[in-house]
């Protein structure tokens, strides 16, 4: 045995014992270092997720597959946007264009707020649990991941982890984010890509420690993702990026920094790579959005006055909603009685950041984010600014004309969150070192260190509370957010899933009237039928084409504050032409009894009378709905006098039974002939 051992040693064979132990220690050390790096991120995410669950507690504590913000207004549209990618992937349909809405022309999803970068990854959730669950998952994970991305970014600049956590909390759960998510505006409420873009720009333009080609490639892919979340936010980021670049270059020139040419070459290389990657991937989607089938051109919302921005004082003074504004919010989908002031950051935070600029005036980061935040706030004023500036510089540019100025609050909030984290880091470090120095003269070094740590933590917590409590109070007034059970009419639950292929339904209320609940009915039915019309920017009269006259009449009978007058022969004819032009095969009017107010049209009796007149025959009432089938085979129009129409749509006739109004209309036309 000794000889064999000696032979093994002299032959140069490896000795597995010591080397294996050293290798294990190295691996264990690397593993421990990885855990130590990831642990704060995991803990932060757990904290953010807990806050988000509290925000959406009414959905998660009841039934998250059927309870969400609302099955009406903008949430209904986003339920549709989340259902479509799952449907398209399962059936091999286009992700960019669909004729399920606005049949037969369809809808260009890339010209809309279709949030494909959210709907596609969450398609498995939609397949398993439906679009309501998907909306709840997106609305819950959105702010948590947004806050986490900001936390990760801020840890590049601050040493004290709680400072980064506070900055992430402000950014991910700001009143702006919460108010947008309350309306299911995922495109402006899920902002996790922005901090990652800033991290890449920081690496390319400031730190320059990694290869510019690699960082530029990552930046290009992030731009692609943001394009499929929100093109509007991408434009806002581009404008803010140009402003930030001007600030950086201006500072470098004033300070005459060395190696400016080399640094510029490094940054420019990365930016060129980012542009090349993003344009290569987005060339076709950009064309599709700007020139593809059913694309939108010019102002997306013509005549809506979107250039009217926020008031500057809204940053420190929470603006309460007027009764008209609250009604508009409820119509848009959020049914709660309170709604966060979306522009609000709080007087405490504004004062703190202003004082910090004086105390730590040599910190270039504070001046950079302060300057960029002010530029974004001025752009957010829109036409409220002095002489409309600086918004007028961009307002008339193509694509930019559709940016809502107050959404520059995205950038202002991000800058405020970054400044807050940097200030808290300064406060913590200064108090800790000061207390440690004083205590070191009186107690042992170990006791002095503990005293400094505790004092620094207390000081940071106090400053963070002064800055964040007003913001938290604004959001807490609406927390948990109000949710509703999405109640689909019985006909769409029991009958619609069994329709033969190729059916095109016109619902009442029509979805282009502003009452968009029918889109949620279609989404929850898993797209078993196509629909005439839809919500969003296509649902404006100027885009109705040759069916515009019928479009206007149907909108008025669905949602009109002045009531619907008896239709004229011209209006009945316009509706008939619209039915033919849209290829409608079924008209479905759910019984409003027991339905939420936002699911009902303004004048169901008049709608029954109008459809009876236009189709030329009465409907069949079954499964809680009036249904006209085989609409393309229209009978002769039923034209009755104004007096008879008014008599047939009175409350007395309406309450006489399901066939009261249609039978009265048919009887009136027979008696008149």
**Structure-token pair, residue 497:** 């899933």
Domain residue ranges of the chain, discontinuous segments joined by +: 57-318+346-476, 490-672
Nearest to 67 by CA among 110, 131, 14, 8: 131
Q: Give 602's DSSP letter.
A: S
pLDDT for the residue numbered 337: 85
pLDDT for the residue numbered 34: 67
pLDDT for the residue numbered 327: 80
Cα–Cα distance between 509 and 602 in angstroms, integer?
Answer: 8
pLDDT for the residue numbered 366: 96
pLDDT for the residue numbered 398: 84
SS3 labels along 422-458 = HHHHHHHHHHHHHHHHHHHCCCCHHHHHHHHHHHHHH
pLDDT for the residue numbered 557: 96
Cα–Cα distances in angstroms (integers) from residue 663 to residues 104, 572, 589, 592, 647, in the given order: 32, 18, 16, 19, 12
pLDDT for the residue numbered 220: 98
Tokens 């731009």 correspond to: 223
pLDDT for the residue numbered 1: 40
pLDDT for the residue numbered 13: 43
**Structure-token pair, residue 433:** 């070192």
What's the predicted TM-score (pTM) here? 0.93
Low-confidence ranges of the chain (pLDDT < 50): 1-18, 671-673
3-state secondary structure of 108: strand
Measured torsion, CA atoms of residues 104, 105, 110, 116, in degrees rounded to the nearest 10: 10
3-state secondary structure of 98: strand
User: Which pairing describes strands 625-628 and 586-590: parallel, antiparallel, or unpaired?
Assistant: antiparallel
Q: Let me know if 215 is exposed, middle or buried by CB neighbors in 10 A (0-12, 13-18, 19+).
A: buried
List the 620-622 sheet strands across, edge first. Answer: 530-531, 504-507, 586-590, 625-628, 620-622
Could you write out the DSSP letters of every residue in 477-537? TTPSPP-EE----HHHHHTGGGPPTT-EEEESS-GGGT--HHHHHHHHTTS-SEES--SST
Angle of CA points 120, 122, 128, to nearest 5°: 120
Give yes or no for a contact between 340 and 182, defined as CB atoms under 8 angstroms apart: yes
Angle of CA points 511, 514, 515, to nearest 5°: 60
Q: What is the pLDDT of residues 236-253, one digit of tens each?
A: 999 999 999 999 888 777
pLDDT for the residue numbered 335: 92
| Count of C-beta atoms within a 10 Å radius of residue 634 | 16
| Count of C-beta atoms within a 10 Å radius of residue 39 | 11
């Amino acid at each position: 045995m000794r000889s064999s051992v000696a032979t093994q040693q002299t032959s140069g064979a490896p000795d597995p014992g010591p080397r294996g132990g050293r290798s294990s220690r190295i691996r264990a050390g690397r593993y421990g270092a990885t855990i130590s790096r990831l642990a704060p991120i995991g803990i932060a995410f757990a904290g953010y997720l807990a806050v988000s669950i509290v925000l959406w507690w009414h959905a998660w504590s009841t039934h998250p597959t059927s309870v969400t913000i609302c099955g009406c207004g903008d949430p209904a549209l986003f339920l549709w946007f989340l259902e479509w990618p799952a449907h398209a992937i399962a059936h091999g349909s286009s992700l960019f264009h669909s004729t399920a809405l606005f049949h037969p022309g369809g809808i260009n999803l890339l010209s809309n707020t279709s949030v494909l970068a959210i709907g596609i990854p969450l398609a498995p959730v939609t397949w398993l649990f439906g679009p309501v669950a998907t909306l709840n998952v997106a609305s819950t994970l959105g702010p948590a991941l947004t806050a986490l991305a900001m936390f990760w970014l801020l840890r590049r600049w601050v040493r004290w982890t709680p400072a980064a956590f506070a900055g992430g909390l402000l950014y991910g759960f700001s009143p702006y984010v919460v108010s947008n998510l309350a309306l299911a505006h995922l495109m402006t409420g899920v902002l996790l890509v922005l901090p990652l873009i800033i991290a890449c720009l920081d690496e390319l333009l400031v730190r320059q420690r990694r290869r510019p080609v690699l960082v530029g490639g990552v930046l290009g892919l992030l731009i692609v993702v943001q394009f499929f979340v929100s093109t509007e936010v991408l434009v806002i980021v581009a404008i803010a990026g140009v402003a930030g670049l001007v600030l950086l270059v201006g500072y470098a020139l004033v300070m005459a920094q060395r190696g400016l040419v080399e640094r510029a070459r490094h940054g420019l290389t990365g930016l060129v790579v980012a542009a090349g990657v993003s344009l290569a991937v987005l060339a076709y989607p950009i064309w599709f959005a700007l020139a593809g089938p059913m694309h939108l051109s010019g102002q997306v919302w013509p005549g809506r006055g979107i250039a009217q921005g926020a008031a500057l004082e809204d940053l420190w003074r929470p603006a309460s909603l007027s009764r008209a504004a609250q009604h508009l919010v409820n119509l848009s989908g959020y049914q709660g009685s309170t709604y966060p002031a979306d522009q609000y950051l709080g007087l405490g935070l504004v004062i703190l950041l202003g004082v910090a600029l004086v105390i730590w005036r040599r910190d270039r980061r504070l001046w950079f984010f302060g300057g960029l935040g002010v530029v974004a706030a001025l752009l957010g004023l829109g036409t409220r600014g002095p002489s409309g500036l600086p918004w007028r510089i961009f307002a008339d540019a193509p694509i930019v004309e559709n940016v809502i100025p107050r959404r520059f609050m995205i950038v202002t909030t991000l800058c405020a969150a970054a400044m807050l984290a940097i200030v808290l880091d300064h406060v913590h470090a200064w108090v800790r070192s000061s207390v440690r120095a004083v205590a070191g003269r009186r107690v042992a070094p170990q006791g002095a260190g503990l005293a400094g740590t505790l004092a620094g933590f207390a000081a940071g917590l106090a400053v963070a509370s002064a800055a964040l409590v007003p913001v938290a109070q604004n959001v807490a007034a609406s927390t948990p957010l109000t949710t509703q059970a999405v109640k689909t009419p019985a006909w769409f639950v029991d009958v619609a899933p069994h329709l033969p292929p190729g059916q095109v339904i016109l619902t009442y209320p029509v979805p282009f009237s502003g009452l968009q609940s029918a889109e949620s009915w279609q989404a929850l039915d898993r797209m078993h039928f196509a629909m005439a019309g839809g919500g969003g920017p296509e649902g404006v009269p100027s885009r109705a084409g040759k069916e515009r006259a019928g479009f206007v009449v149907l909108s008025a009978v669905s949602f009109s504050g002045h009531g619907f007058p008896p239709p004229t022969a011209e209006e009945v004819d316009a509706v008939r032409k619209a039915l033919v032009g849209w290829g409608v095969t079924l008209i479905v009017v759910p019984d409003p009894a027991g339905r939420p107010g936002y699911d009902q049209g303004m004048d169901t009796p008049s709608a029954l009378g109008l459809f009876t007149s236009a189709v030329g025959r009465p409907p069949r009432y079954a499964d809680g709905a009036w249904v006209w089938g085989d609409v393309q085979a229209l009978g002769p129009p039923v034209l009755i006098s104004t007096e008879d129409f008014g008599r047939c749509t009175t409350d007395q006739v309406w309450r006489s039974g399901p066939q009261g109004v249609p039978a009265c209309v048919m009887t009136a036309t027979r008696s008149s002939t």
